[in-house]
Chain A
Amino acid sequence: MKSNPNEMNRRDFLKAGSIAVGALAVVGAGTFVLDKNAAEAMPREDFLRPPGAIDEEDFLYGCIKCGLCVQICPVDAIKLAGADEGLGYGTPYIAPRIQACDFSCDALQCVETCPTAVLDFRPFKEEGVRAVEKAAAEPGADLSTVNPFEVQKVAMKEAVLMGKAHVNRNTCLAHKKEGFKGNPRGDDFEGLLRSPYKNAASASPLKARDYDREICDLCIIECPIGEKAIIQRRSRSGKKLIPHVLDGCTGCGVCQMVCPTAEPSIVVEPI
């Protein structure tokens, strides 16, 4: 190699260029291999895409890995994947058992902040507008008292679909007719939660809660969506009061986070 780049000629360029093309080919081949593995590895229950995520195939290239969604989340539910995720490196995910999306932000701020709309706000916006129109058109609706934001945010929240919760009958305390007393995840658990029934302005640590339930129903009382997503009902035999997941479930994963069994007995399966 010559010492001064000014003296390099076409031959030097072709020589180094062919090595560069070779290196690019290796990178390309590696990407194809990782791409195949990535497709097989998804979906996973500890790796939910944030609300509004578009198809995984488009998501992978549309996400520019800036982390704006991570920064805006008030409960730090969204994290960036490490290099062990292969091509998913730097993409956002939610591990609900560690910190679920509890809708503390009220208005899907991660979706609104995404610069490339891989968290796509359009369906939520449409849903919100439709709900406000519906509320206004309701017979007897007093437009001076209808708060469009309240209506809109509930509709947007309910339009989220990250996954669906499934109950494991073998380990669920309610299925065993057991109650629950105390703190579900221990004193070291850092997760935050904004309980729907408390009408709190922001989320607070789960470890500060103290429950006392005759039959365990934490997943039901803490569900941010409420009775459209999960209800308590009598089992077919009529002997048990068990949680029952409905179509309104958004897959936010709060139930998975609060479940007191060692392995969560209610788990969100990604869609």
Chain B
Amino acid sequence: MASDYFSNAKKKSPLTSKTVEQMPHSLAGLSFKAWRDSRKKNHKMRNIRWAVLLFMNLLFVFSFWLDLSVLEGSLSGSRLLGFYLMDPFNSLQLLAISSTTGYMAMLTMNFWIGLFTILIFWFILGGRSFCSWMCPYHILAEWAEKVHNYLVNKKKIKEHQYHIGLRFVFLVGFVLLAVLTKNLVFENLNLVGIISKGMIYGPSLLLLWLLAIILFEVFVSRRFWCRYVCPIGATYSMVGKYSPLAVKFDYDKCGYCLECQKVCLVPHELWFVKRGKATQVTHFVDSDCTRCGLCVDVCPGHALTFAVKGASSIL
């Protein structure tokens, strides 16, 4: 069963660590360092992902500007060739408010079609894959992260990390605020919507808020918004909990080099790559993973790959 791969994996007793002879670099007849640096720098997955992300966001823009009518609306709510798509966190807030006010007329058939289409689509593709393959803030944050890491390496600034559970505090908090104030409070702070609407309908003053968050990420805390705040990401994280598409970890090919954790947006999900941590020969990365493929690109032993859960047993 696919769920066995992660639900209790952490609690099991770890596998015995590899001896020097069993390490992939020894098997390849290289020194550890030579093996680690043997994989040529490649950005295959990243380049594909950036191309998809830019294409989809530009499709929104040109659908409006050139009247293509392919992907209308914005990332807050849209229509793909006439089929509605709804942002799941917006929908969640709306459902919460509607159920307290009793005014249900907003929950139209198109609303439900849009919500369920989005939920099924992103369930299949991995939930938070929305973040790295669609969200325009993600690409900005990726560049901000590069600057941030450079500054940390140069010891110009200190790294600040917080508890990863914060996102769920914000998720619950924003839904409660929505109900208490009868307003989609988060939509006014939503960087996804602000950038998406800024590109399509023209910039607004809220770009200053975007700038503030980016500066905070550059100088204080790496990937602060995506890691600890964004309730959209948290919603998608729940959507993708049992998603069939995930990054697969092959213990036999791992050389404990930790290159993957260095590039990962959610390194806590790669807990099994450390020596003496893995409990199974195959692990699937859990729901916080955005399926961005950065780890797939850097892993010297090709131990991390995109895979469909259970596919090996079916095919």
Which residues in window 226-259 of B have CB below 8 A to A?
Answer: 228
Q: Which of B165, B183, B204, B205 contacts A87 (CB under 8 A)?
A: B183
Q: Are B174 and A8 in contact (CB under 8 A)?
A: no
Contacts of A122 in B (CB 8 A): 105
CB pair B84–A90 under 8 Å, yes or no, is no
Q: List 25 A-B contacts (CB under 8 A).
A: A1-B162, A4-B161, A5-B163, A5-B164, A6-B271, A8-B163, A8-B164, A13-B166, A16-B166, A16-B228, A21-B169, A35-B181, A58-B106, A61-B94, A62-B98, A64-B94, A65-B77, A65-B197, A68-B72, A70-B201, A71-B63, A80-B197, A90-B193, A116-B107, A117-B106
Once the chains are docked, how many angstroms separate the CA of A84 from the CA of B180?
Answer: 23
**In the complex with contacts A2-B161, A6-B271, A118-B106, A65-B193 CB distance below 8 A:** yes
**Beta-carbon contacts under 8 Å, A52-102 to B:** 54, 57-58, 60-68, 70-72, 79-80, 82-84, 87, 89-90
| B6 contacts A by Cβ under 8 Å | no
Interface size class of A (residues with CB under 8 A): 35 or more
Contacts of B181 in A (CB 8 A): 28, 31-32, 35
Interface residues of A, Cβ cutoff 8 Å to B: 1-6, 8, 12-13, 16-17, 20-21, 24, 27-28, 31-32, 35, 54, 57-58, 60-68, 70-72, 79-80, 82-84, 87, 89-90, 113, 115-118, 120, 122
Q: B182 to chain A: which residues have CB within 8 Å?
A: 57, 60-61
- Decide: A1 and B161 in contact? CB cutoff 8 A: yes
Q: Report the bound CA distance from A87 to B90 in whole Å.
A: 15
5 new A-B contacts at CB < 8 Å, known A4-B268, A16-B163, A67-B74: A5-B161, A8-B162, A13-B165, A17-B165, A87-B183
- Chain A residues with Cβ under 8 A from B169's Cβ? 17, 20-21, 24
Q: Considering the chains assembled together, what is the distance between the CA atoms of A17 and B228 in angstroms?
A: 10
State how many residues of chain B have any CB contact under 8 Å with chain A. Answer: 61
Of the listed stretches B124-132, B184-192, B291-299, name the one at the interface; the rest are far from the partner chain. B184-192
Mark B residues whose CB is within 8 Å of A: 63-64, 72-74, 76-79, 84, 86-87, 90-91, 93-94, 97-98, 101, 103, 105-108, 110-111, 114, 159-166, 169-170, 173-174, 177-178, 180-185, 187-189, 193, 197, 200-201, 204-206, 228, 267-268, 271
B106 near A71 with CB under 8 A, answer: no
| Cα-based distance from A79 to B121 in the complex (angstroms) | 30
Are the CB atoms of A66 and B103 closer together than 8 Å?
no
Q: Which among A63, A64, A83, A120 is the interface contact of B105 at CB below 8 angstroms?
A: A120
Give the CA-CA distance A2 to B162 in the complex, in Å.
Answer: 8
CB-CB < 8 A to A60: which residues of B? 182-183
Residue of B nearest to A18 (CB): B169
